Amino acid sequence: MSDLEEKLALIPMVVEQTPRGERAYDIYSRLLKDNVIFAVGPIEDHMANLIIAQLLFLESENPSKDIFLYINSPGGTITSGLSIYDTMQFIKPDVSTICVGQASSMGAILLAAGAKGKRYSLPNSRMMIHQPISGFQGQASDIDIHAKEVLNSGSKSIIYLLINRKN
């Protein structure tokens, strides 16, 4: 069993009383009922798909109810983060963002993506922004094209997103 699998096996369960008896939920499923989503760890494609699915599900359940996205992330890939960002802007409910721990790199971009007046950071949380970092291999001409793409599109689009998210 990998470290990640071991950590996932330790998710707490909560028990609710219902008219039909007791119902056990993992804590994240229970919090999802209250429109709470967590973005914890590196932002990559799998995490992005899970968060996007939860955002779309909560919108379909109640398009007028705010969604709360708690972020504790060191950042991650630009494309994965921007797919979450775009979905947050696309859906009808306001998304309130709360930094717990850290929101670095793409995590900070997601924190800034929250609805105006609904972006928060707990007192001991940290945020950090840096220039895009990329890894690429291949022919020199391909590396040159990729570097120009990161410098032109990546940096400019991130700066544009941040400037337009000011309170």
Catalytic residue numbers read 105, 130
DSSP string, the chain: --HHHHHHTT--EEEEEETTEEEEEEHHHHHHHTTEEEEES-B-HHHHHHHHHHHHHHHHH-TTS-EEEEEEE--B-HHHHHHHHHHHHHSSS-EEEEEEEEEETHHHHHHHTSPTT-EEE-TT-EEE---------S-HHHHHHHHHHIIIIIHHHHHHHHHTT--
User: Residue 59: which H helix or E strand, with range?
Assistant: helix 45-61
Q: State both tokens at 131.
A: 């220039």
